[in-house]
Amino acid sequence: MMPRGGGDARGEALGHIAALRHQKLTVPEVGELLGKAEASDAGLNGWQLANLRAMRRMQVRAAALPQSLVRALKIATTRCEQTWRVARAANDWNAVARQLAEVLMLTREKAAALGNTLGLQSYDALLDGYEAGTRVVDVARVFDDLKGFLPDFLSRILDRQREPMPLRGPFPRERQRQLGVAMMRVFDFDFDRGRLDVSPLLWRRRRRHPHHHPLQRGRLPAVPHGCAARDRTRALPAGPATRVAAATRGQVARRCGARKPVAFRRDADCAKPRLHGVCRAAYPRSPRGQGWRGGVERG
């Protein structure tokens, strides 16, 4: 993290870089070269055409903004973030209010300039910068969907977890590893791009929750990080279209995760029988039928 005293200097540096980038994108020669490429696109393949469209989109959006605004907005957002990091820890709204107001003012100027060039409403013009073609009506449908199930969603989750699985530890470390690998395969984990490491920490040193079991902690939460490494855009050639594709994948993943938690629910329901099966195979039933028992290996 940047030290507090370096925030202003970093903002100035980033603002200068943003201005230089904007200058290179908006020189007339760039527009002329893109025009020539668009006029003779018969010999381009699909990937080259995608890059050409992405470059034109970047050039049009950049040309809609004055360089002074690009520089001022980058400086303001950097300073605001630096101030927010301290103000958040201190719960001090007044400390960041002035910088945030400046960011909002400049962002409104940016939205208005983009909207005039693209023929869009101000907020639609900003949304289009994150995901091409997205409009306010699309976002409104997402939030309407959220309002339909979120109010009682948490209570339904807690009700489902009131009776935890009858697992009774401690468990041998190797069997925990086997279970972790089996469950990661259920969730389609790509072991060519990630791995499962054995934690040197004991469970008793970690924060516990009444609805969590030792076998659940430290295993499945690591799976999404490994799955993120499977981003198929890494296999694509370098170019603007690659960044657009990667950003779109992230937006879709976050949107789907926010809109439809049932997708993960389906995975969990699919994994549940496998979890029980692995536990039954790895840990014999106790004589009293009170769940699975096992020893522990510590090292």
| pLDDT level of residue 43 (50, 70, 90 thresholds) | confident
Phi and psi angles of residue 72, each rounded to the nearest 5 degrees, phi first = -65, -40
Let me know how many helices (H) and strands (E) the chain has, helices first.
12, 0
- Paired with 285 in beta bridges are 292
Phi and psi angles of residue 10, each rounded to the nearest 5 degrees, phi first = -65, -40
- The dihedral built from the CA positions of residue 225, 227, 230 and 232, taken in this order, carries a sign that is negative
- In this predicted model, what pLDDT tens digit does every residue of 81-90 receive, in sequence order? 999 988 999 9
How far apart (Å, rounded) are the C-alpha atoms in residues 93 and 215?
41
Q: Which amino acid, 77? A: T
pLDDT at 105 over 90: yes
Q: Which amino acid, 258? A: A
Q: Mean pLDDT lowest for which of 19-33, 112-126, 137-151, 179-193? A: 179-193
Task: Output the pTM of the full model.
Answer: 0.59
- In this predicted model, what pLDDT tens digit does every residue of 130-174 receive, in sequence order? 888 999 999 999 889 888 888 888 888 888 777 766 666 777 888
Q: Which amino acid, 208? A: R
| pLDDT level of residue 237 (50, 70, 90 thresholds) | low
More confident of the two residues 161 and 252: 161
The full DSSP string for 25-56 is: HHSHHHHHHHHHHHHTGGG--HHHHHHHHHHH
pLDDT at 285 over 90: no
Question: Which DSSP letter does residue 203 get?
Answer: G
More confident of the two residues 288 and 35: 35
* Alpha carbon 200 to chain centroid, angstroms: 28
What token pair was written down for 218?
């430290």
- Which whole number is the average pLDDT over 264-284? 59
- Which whole number is the average pLDDT over 19-29? 95
How far apart (Å, rounded) are the C-alpha atoms in residues 70 and 23?
10
How far apart (Å, rounded) are the C-alpha atoms in residues 123 and 114?
10
pLDDT at 116 over 70: yes
Parse the chain into domains and list their residue ranges.
4-134, 168-282
